[in-house]
Amino acid sequence: MSFIDAVMQCRVPDIHSEFWSFVFFVLNIIPGLGTFLGGIVKADADNILLGLIQLILILSLFIPIIGIFIFIIDWSVSLTWGFVMFQNAYNRKHSGQRTQNQ
């Protein structure tokens, strides 16, 4: 699967631990850091590359006028990616508990 396909399908690192997925979500406050580290933990080259691109885009802040807009888009994508990572781990953990209780 290509990098573009992974991004279009929102294929985040598959972190099974709810705690660690939350840590990576919080680390995505610095755009790409949580995605990069999550990709390293899961040996997912596509997410490692995406995290690096997001980290490099922080440098767009030095571009007059348009830089802040690029950074805001980068930051929002990074936070969304981190939230989806956390949400997948949360749903995986709690969907098993719901079926056991019913």
Per-residue pLDDT of 18-76, as tens digits, reads 899 899 999 999 998 988 999 899 888 888 888 898 899 888 888 898 989 999 998 99
Neighbours of 72 (CB within 10 A): 12
- The CA–CA distances, whole Å, from 102 to 50, 77, 89, 92 equal 40, 37, 21, 16
pLDDT at 100 over 60: no
* pLDDT of amino acid 47: 86
CB within 8 Å of 93: residues ≥ 6 apart? 18
Predicted structure pTM score? 0.78
Q: How far apart are CA 13 and CA 22, in angstroms?
A: 12
